[in-house]
Amino acid sequence: MFDDFLTRAALAGVGLSLATGPLGSFVVWRRMAYFGDATAHAAILGVAMALATDLPVGFGIMVVSLAMAVTVATLAAKGWAMDTTLGVLAHSALAFGLVAVSFVPGVRTDLSAWLFGDILAVSRGDLAFVWGGAVVVLALLAWRWQALLTATLNEDLAHASGLNPDRERLVLTIALAIVVAVAIKVVGALLIAAMLIVPAAAARGLSRTPEVMAGLAILIGAVSALGGLQLSLWQDTPAGPSVIVVAALIFTATTALGRRLTG
């Protein structure tokens, strides 16, 4: 029988996958990988802000991640060259966060847990936060699913259908900020983008419809989380990175399988 901490870790990984699967599919479809990376990097600045003001860390991460996501979405809507802009914003936010923590009086914290995650240290409160955030993201995406698909497929078609692509982009922005806030304890700021992208990319070659891809991405994410925990126990490897290693191996296998099926 699993120990309590392993049970919580497994449930946290599965709960996170419920959110990252469908959201990661949109990240892949819209080629928003760097967008997710920038939002995740900003989470460390949110940690620093929360520690400095005695606010809950999750709240600080949510505020800063949402601010970063809205900033990036606004710049994208104005036609900025996003590759350079996102690079500057992502690494600057990470650097400011790391430096800011050192100025918080009386705080001595190991930031490696926030950078790479510590899924084995998930508490019952963290577990409730992860599942609560996952349910909110799923509800948000389910509510706007068809509109998001239309806006992703073609913005002109979205306008013709009476939809506002900027509003749909904002929905994804909010969902992304929530996922960053709930995922940072599980896989860390540096690996959140991987948890969004790798399972969705692995599912793409095996899917014929958007709904199937989102469902497979959830399944692959959950298998990656459980497999990563097992790998961590067997080989005494870091749990968060181990989850991504398993996801990458699944991506390699599904990519090879997908090519064989289409070949």
Lookup: tokens for 20: 């990252």
pLDDT of residue 104: 75
pLDDT of residue 145: 93
**pLDDT at 11 > cutoff 90:** yes
Q: What's the average model confidence in pLDDT over 217-239? A: 93
Domain ranges of the chain: 4-258
Q: Taking the domain 4-258, which CATH number applies?
A: 1.10.3470.10
pLDDT of residue 81: 67
Higher per-residue pLDDT: 184 or 110: 184
What pLDDT, in 10s, does the model give residues 31-76?
A: 877 777 788 888 888 888 888 888 888 888 888 888 887 787 777 7
Q: Environment class of residue 215 by beta-carbon count within 10 Å: exposed (0-12), middle (13-18) or buried (19+)?
A: middle
Q: What's the average model confidence in pLDDT over 97-115? A: 74
What pLDDT, in 10s, does the model give residues 135-168?
A: 999 999 999 999 999 988 888 888 888 888 888 8
pLDDT of residue 107: 60
**pLDDT at 263 > cutoff 60:** no
Total-model pTM: 0.88
pLDDT of residue 1: 42
